[in-house]
Amino acid sequence: MDETGTPEPERLDHETSSGDAPVTEFATGAFELVTVEPRVAILDALATYQAENPREPTLGFTELRERAAIEDSGNFSYHLEKLKPACIKRTDEGYSLTWSGRSLVGVLRAGVGARTTRGPVTLDATCGICGTELTASYEDRLLSVTCANGHRFPTDDLPPNAVSGRPIDEVITIQTRRTRHHLDLVREGVCPACFATVELEYEVLNSPRAAHILIATCGDCGRVSSSTIGSYLLTEPVVVAFYHDHGVDLTETPFWAVELTIADPTVHSEEPLRLSLSVERDGERLTLFVDEHARLLDSDRTTE
């Protein structure tokens, strides 16, 4: 949409090549697809039908029009054509969603535009840095967990549908799993929102406490995130194994209960940057050696 509210002209992006190189073709711009109400109604009707009939998700023309509640057959047909072939495919039996169509419906149903807020809720947990109570609150798609002294634990985007109707501890478990996955992608240079390339930048913060962080910026969708070096290491097999051996399941333990996320690195060299982080459990120490992008170079387990 431009400033007058007029839909943008249809966009045709072609990126064709031979071999295994990607081929991209958008018959209709993604924003236009979801800003025209009849199209959302058609996608929604097909998704509802598919949820009821997962093995036979195909609807005929008239039934789809009725389910989408569009009276004018010409108008319905026009918008249906616009959704093909990206979001809807047609077979002899009728119409059904493509994977792109399902993905778009998933994004919409996860709560685009919903103004869900929650909390602040006091958690049965304390800040690993200062020991004060932690509280969780949800607003503008962000779930934040902070203590009274302003120490923040990973704040990440979470769709409203993940938050509605679930107890806060379940929401936090979803957030924990999702954030770990996001950090894993980001460290590999992939944006978890749009899957373009992210730039990683190492920085040392001094407030509210000294922290070594990696800032990830997506040059495509503009997503910016920053996390401590230790947070990026939670999916490393040696880290998962160390915690497992000491009775901690990292797949579901919130970030504030894992000391590695707040471990203060030791700088061994500046050029190239080489850091080490250590954590201790039951008299055993795990030391991790990493580079400027939190890539694990070496590790060591020692018993005191």
List contacts with Zn ion (CB under 5 A). 127, 129-130, 147, 149, 151, 191, 193-194, 196, 218, 220-221, 223
Residue number, 7 or 219, with CB nearest to Zn ion:
219
In the complex, the smallest distance separating the C-beta of residue 148 from Zn ion, rounded to whole angstroms, is: 7
Residue number, 127 or 279, with CB nearest to Zn ion:
127
In the complex, the smallest distance separating the C-beta of residue 220 from Zn ion, rounded to whole angstroms, is: 5
In the complex, the smallest distance separating the C-beta of residue 24 from Zn ion, rounded to whole angstroms, is: 16
In the complex, the smallest distance separating the C-beta of residue 134 from Zn ion, rounded to whole angstroms, is: 8
In the complex, the smallest distance separating the C-beta of residue 125 from Zn ion, rounded to whole angstroms, is: 11
Look up residue 209 and give its amino acid. R
Percent helix, strand and coil across the chain, each rounded to 5?
A: 30, 30, 40
Structure tokens at 303: 């018993």
Phi-psi domain of 19 (left: phi exceeds 0; alpha: psi -120 through 50; beta: other):
left
- Give the burial class of 216: count Cβ atoms within 10 A of its Cβ; 0-12 exposed, 13-18 middle, 19 or more buried: buried
Residue number, 199 or 220, with CB nearest to Zn ion:
220
Residue number, 85 or 189, with CB nearest to Zn ion:
189
Residue number, 68 or 191, with CB nearest to Zn ion:
191
Beta bridge partners of 94: 91
Q: Report the Cα–Cα distance between both ends of the chain, in Å, rounded.
A: 63
Q: Contact at 8 Å (CB) between 34 and 7?
A: no
